[in-house]
């Protein structure tokens, strides 16, 4: 179906819904690379005018990727909750934006409609929203999950402690874990990207992390971000696996590029649940995504990268995860060119994920060849915290020495807690208090020579040194 719109005395034509969605997206290098971006600001506004007038039902009745060709599309359509959709079924995309921003619509109403929302609906409305709109709606959306800690509670911001090492040296990893714990990081998970992704290596890392967790009674969950098929084998070998990790994308073809499909994810989910390692909840999955993943695999079906990103959240939603995060600037400037594009993408991803009912976090990051710097990351982490982000990723000194990209540093969580008043997950916060690591203002106490905490925690390294 073709669409037309007049802006500034000029008529713009759009050949189909995919064309409208792509043209309505804020400017970004990935869509330009794919030949999908609007040619001008006027064309972009014309596409948004068309989009604003489209009924939400259009996205239920018209699949951007054909149902017969793609299992992600089938998942989206087959799980759509018509009863939950009824209260908003009469709205256009523009009317949906107004509804979301209404003072009368709060956390309860947003949670009730989450099962009714398709990724395409959510991507569409995000294209009509300013950054402040994305923050305003996300901040009143509540998504709470639990394993050994509870993430997503109001006024809380959790962190993934990421102690990567270029050779997976246990001593090096242990030192980075110690460093992060002393800053109060790690309540979302202590998660390692292994330099060598195989089952024996992953098991060694898992055993070390689990021994550390048990020795100091740390209420958190650990994760080695190995391929999901490795996790299944690790579970079969009775190793101490807490969370199953996998990168996911928004089309069947893109997921095939990751070596996965929905059946494999289901098998892993059921296997992890069978372990019953959670103490206060059973959310056992951890997913990562990123704008540009489908395009980089030539599996985007002519759809803009942000819409394809949100389709990945439908995959994640099907497995009730503990954690989902967009690694927003990791794929590089070919997809998000500069700090402005990275900031916008991070806010979009967080808004869309939370609206779909996901415990959405972000790796606030960039590669060294992007037109971005740490000031841009300061802006994004501050905005995301105001938006009610579930968790952020922290690495030693903001420099990941294994993956060779820039993220946030452990000390950034102290800034966010001090300035914005957010706190760690309650179970982890209680542990920090037991370890005498919490200052009266809620921050981390300053270490001093002979401090008992230092003596207590640093002896962990004798296990591996």
400 annotated to a ligand binding site: no
With contact defined as beta carbons under 8 Å apart, do 329 and 366 qualify? yes
With contact defined as beta carbons under 8 Å apart, do 246 and 324 qualify? no
338 annotated to a ligand binding site: no
426 annotated to a ligand binding site: no
133 annotated to a ligand binding site: no
With contact defined as beta carbons under 8 Å apart, do 360 and 389 qualify? yes
Whole-angstrom CA distances from 303 to 162, 174, 246, 253 are 32, 43, 23, 13
| Three-class SS of 256-293 | HHCCCCHHHHHHHHHHHHHHCCCCCCCCCEEEEECCCH
Cα–Cα distance, 332 to 338 (Å, whole number): 9
Whole-angstrom CA distances from 33 to 28, 41, 123 are 9, 17, 20
246 annotated to a ligand binding site: yes
Strand partners, 444: 438
With contact defined as beta carbons under 8 Å apart, do 422 and 382 qualify? no
162 annotated to a ligand binding site: yes
402 annotated to a ligand binding site: yes
H/E element, 323: strand 323-327
Burial tier of 433 (Cβ tally within 10 Å: 0-12, 13-18, 19+): exposed
267 annotated to a ligand binding site: no
194 annotated to a ligand binding site: yes
296 annotated to a ligand binding site: yes
Q: Which parts are annotated binding residues for adenosylcob(III)alamin?
A: 194, 246, 296, 402
Show binding-site residues.
160-162, 193-194, 246, 288, 296, 363, 402
Which residues carry a binding-site annotation for substrate? Answer: 160-162, 193, 288, 363
């Amino acid at each position: 179906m073709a669409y037309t719109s007049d802006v500034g005395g000029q008529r713009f034509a759009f050949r189909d819904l995919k064309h409208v969605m792509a043209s309505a997206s804020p400017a970004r290098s990935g869509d330009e690379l794919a030949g999908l971006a609007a040619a001008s600001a006027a064309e972009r506004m014309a596409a948004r005018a068309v989009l604003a007038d489209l009924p939400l039902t259009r996205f239920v009745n018209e699949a951007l990727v054909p149902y017969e060709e793609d299992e992600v599309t089938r998942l989206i359509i087959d799980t759509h909750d018509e009863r939950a959709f009824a209260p908003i079924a009469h709205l256009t995309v523009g009317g949906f934006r107004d509804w979301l921003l209404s003072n009368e619509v709060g956390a309860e109403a947003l949670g009730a409609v989450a099962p009714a929302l398709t990724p395409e609906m959510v991507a569409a409305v995000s294209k009509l929203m300013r950054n402040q709109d994305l923050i305003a709606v996300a901040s009143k959306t509540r998504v709470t999950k639990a394993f050994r800690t509870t993430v997503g509670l109001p006024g809380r911001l959790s962190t993934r402690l990421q102690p990567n090492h270029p050779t997976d040296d246990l001593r090096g990893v242990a030192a980075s874990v110690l460093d992060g714990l002393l800053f109060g990081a790690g309540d979302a998970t202590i998660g390692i990207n292994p330099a060598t992704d195989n089952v024996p290596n992953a098991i060694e890392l898992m055993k070390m992390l689990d021994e550390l967790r048990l020795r100091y009674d740390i209420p958190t969950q650990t994760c080695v971000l190995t391929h999901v098929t490795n996790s299944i084998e690790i579970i079969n070998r009775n190793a101490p696996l807490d969370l199953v990790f996998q990168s996911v994308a928004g089309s069947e073809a893109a997921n095939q590029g990751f070596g996965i499909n929905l059946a494999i994810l289901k098998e892993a989910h059921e296997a992890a649940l069978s372990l019953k390692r959670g103490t206060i909840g059973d959310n056992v999955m951890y997913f990562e995504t990123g704008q540009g993943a489908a395009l980089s695999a030539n599996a985007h079906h002519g759809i803009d990268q942000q819409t394809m990103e949100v389709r990945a959240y439908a995959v994640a939603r099907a497995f009730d995860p503990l954690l989902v995060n967009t690694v927003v600037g990791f794929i590089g400037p070919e997809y998000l060119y500069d700090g402005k594009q990275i900031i916008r993408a991070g806010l979009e991803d967080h808004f869309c994920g939370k609206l779909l009912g996901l415990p959405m976090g972000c790796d606030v990051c960039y590669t060294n060849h992007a037109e971005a710097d740490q000031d841009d990351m300061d802006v994004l982490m501050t905005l995301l915290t105001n938006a009610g982000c579930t968790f952020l990723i922290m690495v030693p000194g903001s420099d990941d020495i294994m993956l060779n990209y820039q993220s946030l540093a452990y000390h950034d969580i102290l800034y966010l807690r001090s300035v914005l008043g957010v706190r760690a997950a309650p179970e982890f916060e209680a542990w920090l208090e037991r370890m005498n690591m919490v200052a009266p203002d809620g921050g981390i106490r300053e270490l001093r020579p002979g401090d008992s905490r230092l003596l207590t925690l640093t002896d962990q390294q004798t296990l591996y040194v």
